[in-house]
Amino acid sequence: MDDPVAAQLDAYNRQDIDAFCACYADDVVVDSAHGKRLIEGGAMLRAAYTKLFTRFPGNRAELLSRVSIGPWVIDEERVSGRDGPPEHAVAIYLVREGLIRSVRFLSERD
């Protein structure tokens, strides 16, 4: 996969769980801004995002900016379609061997 971060964002906005999960390594980890482990492994990723997509069918992330530094990709986003007003967020991805290996989410609500 040439750009798994762009591909997962497109799949996220389509709520295509199979295409979304295909962008991530089987041993992916997802952490909060404060280092709390939110997701560990592909099965947990699939379960969490299946639940999210079901609960919020209008959920979308608008890309505001993207910075790439070596294997790191930093996306600034506006997330809408959930409870409450749109949320300003940052996702920091580590990409190796064409897959997302880890993610850290920063949010104005943290």
Domain range spanning residue 80? 4-107
* CATH number of the domain bearing residue 39: 3.10.450.50
Q: Is 70 left (phi over 0), alpha (psi -120 to 50) or beta?
A: left
Helix (H) or strand (E) holding 5, with range, is helix 4-14
CB within 8 Å of 55: residues ≥ 6 apart: none
pLDDT of the chain, 110 residues: tens digit per residue: 789 999 999 999 999 999 999 999 999 999 999 999 999 999 999 999 999 999 999 999 999 999 999 999 999 999 999 989 999 999 999 999 999 999 999 988 76
Number of domains in the chain: 1
Cα gap 6→61, rounded to integer Å: 12
Cα gap 61→55, rounded to integer Å: 15
Q: How far is CA 15 from CA 20, 59, 61, 91, 108, in A?
A: 8, 8, 11, 18, 23
pTM: 0.94
11 in Cβ contact with 100 (< 8 Å): no
